[in-house]
Amino acid sequence: MLRLPGLIDLHVHMREPGAIHKEDWQSGTSAALAGGVTLVLAMPNTQPPVTDAQSLRLALDAARQKALCDYAQYLGATPDNADVVAELAPRAAGLKMYLDHTYGPLRLANMTDWMVHLARWPREIPLAVHAEGRTLAAVILLASFYDHPVHLCHVSRREEILIIRAAKERGLKVTCEVTPHHLFLSEEDIPALGQGRAEVRPALASPADRQALWDNLEVIDCFATDHAPHTLAEKNGPTPPPGFPGLETALPLFLTAVSEERLTLDDVVQRYHVNPQRIFRLPSQPETWVEVDTEATWEIQATTLLTRAAWTPFEGWRVRGRVVRVVVRGTEAFRDGKVLVPPGFGRNVREVSG
């Protein structure tokens, strides 16, 4: 039996408020616990999106009533909310700027809007961006003008990881995350997955892009799932929304890579706990750990997952390593496939005390 620190997932879509048929704070945080994740940061592209005090309250009310693990909520940038979100910054996981098209209405098309947020958002509170290809190069440049640290979400392509490497070599304040699906899948998997199910942003890339991520592992600060649940009916429908659920499959995939000596255990702990905590200035969770049976070999099957998405792009994959028990703040929260804490057990780690 192996004991790991509680994992921290910087990139999770909870779908509440607005689309709880895909996921709510309870189903999403059960999936987190089942994956050994004890702290999730929730993205703001809900309905309504989290862009001001009122929508933040709506999301945090749901989280306070339902969450089973600890959490914080991102704010989303719009062309006209820079002052409003800067005011709310201490209560947020961070600010998310969507700079390319993806799921939901949040997108900052105009680079002058990025500049306004870079000028206003506090440097010591995380700023995360969805920026692909040339957009990624552009936002690194603009962030450097303001000397503002920037965290690059779900890096997926060779040119991106090489730009980040070059930016770091120059001393620029950039950090990045990579998802399990961009490490373990490529566009070659699209036919088997089916076109609709394979939809995800950033899209699955070429095998050479995927290899470049593995070849530049030292440039990757964090692993984050981008857990983006949509139902199977939606994925198989005429307008399939992009996104994969990932919370329950990430650690088993990483541990399998450890057993194959493609990663070390320390690579995983650094990127799925240590660096997320440091970069996002998250408090440590006392008496919090995950017990893993590293010898257990099992087959990923959607029917056993707790996410409401009820499907996985890794269906049928044989993996090695199973989460047996999760202890959060001294309480046994998950054991042998069952959640043992009540809704509302989770704490907002950005709660302003007093």
Quick one: what does residue 242 bind among Zn ion, ligand DOR, none, with the CB cut-off 5 to 8 Å set by partner type? Answer: ligand DOR
Report the nearest approach of ligand DOR to the CB of residue 308 (Å).
13
Number of residues forming the site for ligand DOR (CB under 6 A): 12
Is the Cβ–Cβ distance between 51 and 89 less than 8 Å?
no
* Residue 37 contacts residue 268 (beta carbons within 8 Å): no
Q: Does 243 bind ligand DOR (CB under 6 A)?
A: yes
Among 130, 197, 210, 273, binds Zn ion (CB under 5 A): 130
Q: Residue 43 CB, nearest distance to Zn ion (Å)?
A: 5
Q: Is 157 in the site for ligand DOR (CB under 6 A)?
A: no
161 sits in which H/E element = helix 158-169
SS3 of residue 349 by DSSP: coil
Residue nearest to Zn ion (CB): 130
Distances (CA, A) of 252 to 122, 159, 182: 36, 28, 15
228 touches ligand DOR (CB under 6 A): yes
The residue number with the shortest CB distance to ligand DOR is 243
Q: Contacting ligand DOR (CB under 6 A), which of 66, 107, 117, 130? A: 130
Instruction: Find the binder of ligand DOR among 242, 246, 252, 346 (CB under 6 A).
Output: 242
**Helix (H) or strand (E) run with residue 333 in it:** strand 331-335
* Site membership for Zn ion, residue 226 (CB under 5 A): yes
Cα angle, residue 248 at apex, residues 33 and 177 outer, rounded to 5°: 100
Angle of the 111-120 helix axis to the 134-145 helix axis, nearest 10: 40
Candidates 84-92, 219-227, 234-242, 252-260; binding stretch for Zn ion (CB under 5 A): 219-227
Q: Which is closer to ligand DOR, CB of 249 or CB of 256?
A: 249
Burial 68-98 (b: 16+ CB within 10 A, else e): bbbbbbbbbbbeebbeebbebbebbbbbbbb
The pattern of x and - marking residues 84 through 123 that bind ligand DOR according to CB under 6 A reads: ------------------xxx-------------------
Which residues in 37-76 contact ligand DOR (CB under 6 A)? 45
**Smallest distance from the beta carbon of 329 to Zn ion, in angstroms?**
27
Of the candidate spans 54-62, 165-173, 205-213, 236-244, the one that interacts with ligand DOR by CB under 6 A turns out to be 236-244
Three-state secondary structure call for residue 123: coil
Q: Which residue has the tokens 């703040």?
A: 329
Whole-number Cα distances in Å, 122 to 88, 130, 235, 350? 10, 19, 38, 15
Q: State which of residues 185, 200, 213, 263 lies at the interface with ligand DOR (CB under 6 A).
A: 200
Binding site for Zn ion (CB under 5 A): 130, 226
